[in-house]
Structure 1
Amino acid sequence: MLQTIASTFGQIILYLIIIPSVLGAGLVFANRSSKRQVVTYFGFSAQIIAGWFGIVIHEASHLLMALLFGHHITSFRLVRSPNRNDPSDNSLGYVNHTWNQHNFYQKVGNVFIGIAPIIGNTIAIYFITKWLLPSSLTSWQTLITDHDFISPTQITPTYGFWGFIIWILVVINICLGGFDLSPADLKNSSLGLISLLVLLVLVTVIASLFGWNTSLVTLIQSIMVPFITAMLFALLIAVVTTLVLRIIGHFR
């Protein structure tokens, strides 16, 4: 029984925490690198212009997740321009919220509120791609699941050339403004991490006792594998964006 519980818990942690955390760290690193290059090459305000859509999704994700977990919103701005005269002011948006520290559900929510921009922007890229360039998403999913390449000539935009241009501009905007988790975001997530782990242990033990462990792992995989695939796709775009900016900087 203990071996079953340990094995089930390990698989749950792998799909819910470890893999998303590694990919999320990659997205954060790529986003920070891209923003730093944009500011260096094009000026401070360029990060807001070039990443406006991503910034809005970033803060909206915090906001919606906080509401979902019953937190009280005290104030928020989906996008703002920092005060250039204040060196400590580097916030491009914010969501201030309070919660009941004795409420287990709200404490667990802190984990998801902190990482909400990773979730929100990944979902945004997925659906925008599914709308404007669905064949590329199909190609990527085939590559990940079947390790089979699809010819680039088979990747055709839904709305022709201009649809492809719009897709490029939107996903780059999201990658430039959306995935950078601030120290406050990471700190907020850490506040609920212990509560989340306790919850996962309890769920694992109960599922194992009743023989539901295989069904539980299968359910989690059915949800997380498509999301992880989408995260990999977003990471690919973020890395390519960073490399393109480096090339631009090289020729400036």
Structure 2
Amino acid sequence: MLSVVELFYLVGFLIGVGFLLGVMEKYSNTFLFKAFGKRGVLATAWIGTPIHELGHLLQCFIWGHRVTRVKFLQVNNPNGVLGYVEHQYNPGSMYQQIGNFFIGMGPIFSGIGSLIFGMYLLAPESYQTFREYIDLHVTSSVQNRNYLMVLGNAVLVITKSFFTLNNLFNPLFWIFLILAICISSHIALSKADIKGSTKGLFMIFFVLFVFNLVSGFFGIDTFKFIAKLTKYNAYVLAFSSIAIFFSIITLLISYILYRLKFGRG
């Protein structure tokens, strides 16, 4: 049970973010598909899918997997697969097995990173406000473990800084908004991504279990160590707020387009 709790502290927040993004993306793509057919989904795939696959690819390099085949975007696959990264690893390597989890989660990292970089280039005032929030408030929230407050406040900060008069009259802002919608529409994990991540998750649990057995024998309290280590979860939630914010925007726009189409029908 201790290993289960520690596993939640280590990766639970990241999995939760992935699940939330997945739910919103599912409904967004459903509305777009009903309104415009396959073209509705492909309209955002031109940038969103390559960034999704890039996340897998970079994590493969980090965790020592051998990449055998990459397809950043394909539009005519009969199974509807827009892109993929095929890779191989050594089953005898604990490091590479753990890597399966992060390779599966790769699109979350690449998606959030791309949104932050895009905001830095195309909406610098919003980026600066968000950065100041991170610097001033997240550290104190880490100490108090108000993780949900971190997420909620970060979304509010982004919302207030994003919809300003300066941004609304700035062409670069609209370019960024279009790119952000495309990226956020394809951050979520596919069934294959989740299946691959599960393999790595089991190995992380196994490592924790052995670690706790050995530590318990020597009377070492591992939970205190894990609790201190996982203070990074506040930063995970703060940065994830950007992806959540744009996923909400994407969901609202796709629903409005669906209702307009449905109304005309």
TM over 0.5: yes
Corresponding residue number in structure 2 for 1:250: 259
Equivalent of 2:204 in 196, 199, 210: 196
Q: CA deviation at 1:216?
A: 5.2
Corresponding residue number in structure 1 for 2:92: 102
Q: Are positions 1:118 and 2:112 aligned together?
A: no
Q: Are positions 1:26 and 2:16 aligned together?
A: no
Corresponding residue number in structure 1 for 2:142: none
Corresponding residue number in structure 1 for 2:188: 180
Corresponding residue number in structure 2 for 1:231: 240
Q: Distance in 2 between matches of 1:64 and 1:250?
A: 38
Q: Deviations over 1:203-249 (max 9, x none)?
A: 5665996778656533431x332121121331132123112211221
Q: CA deviation at 1:200?
A: 3.4
Q: Tell me the SS of whatever aligns to 1:180.
A: coil
Q: Are positions 1:16 and 2:10 aligned together?
A: yes
RMSD: 3.3
Equivalent of 2:81 in 87, 91, 100: 91
CA contact (8 A) 1:136 1:155 kept: no
Q: 1:128 to 1:200 in 2, by over 3 A?
A: farther
Q: CA deviation at 1:15?
A: 3.8
Q: Tell me the SS of whatever aligns to 2:254.
A: helix
Q: Are positions 1:137 and 2:145 aligned together?
A: no
Q: Deviations over 1:39-58 (max 9, x none)?
A: 22223133223232221111
The code of the aligned residue for 1:185 comes to D
Q: Distance in 2 between matches of 1:201 and 1:42?
A: 49
Q: Distance in 1 between matches of 2:180 and 2:238?
A: 16
Q: 1:52 to 1:29 in 2, by over 3 A?
A: same
Corresponding residue number in structure 2 for 1:171: 180
Q: Are positions 1:54 and 2:48 aligned together?
A: yes
Corresponding residue number in structure 1 for 2:228: 218
Q: Distance in 2 between matches of 1:214 and 1:186?
A: 30
The code of the aligned residue for 1:163 comes to L
The code of the aligned residue for 1:198 comes to F
Q: Distance in 1 between matches of 2:167 and 2:222?
A: 42
How many residue pairs align between the two structures?
A: 240
Q: Deviations over 1:67-91 (max 9, x none)?
A: 21111111111111133xx3xx211
CA contact (8 A) 1:112 1:189 kept: yes
Q: Tell me the SS of whatever aligns to 1:30.
A: helix
Task: Could you tell me which runs of 5 or more consecutive residues in structure 1 were left unpaired when the two chains were aligned.
Answer: none
CA contact (8 A) 2:21 2:247 kept: yes
| TM-score of the pair, normalised by structure 2 | 0.76
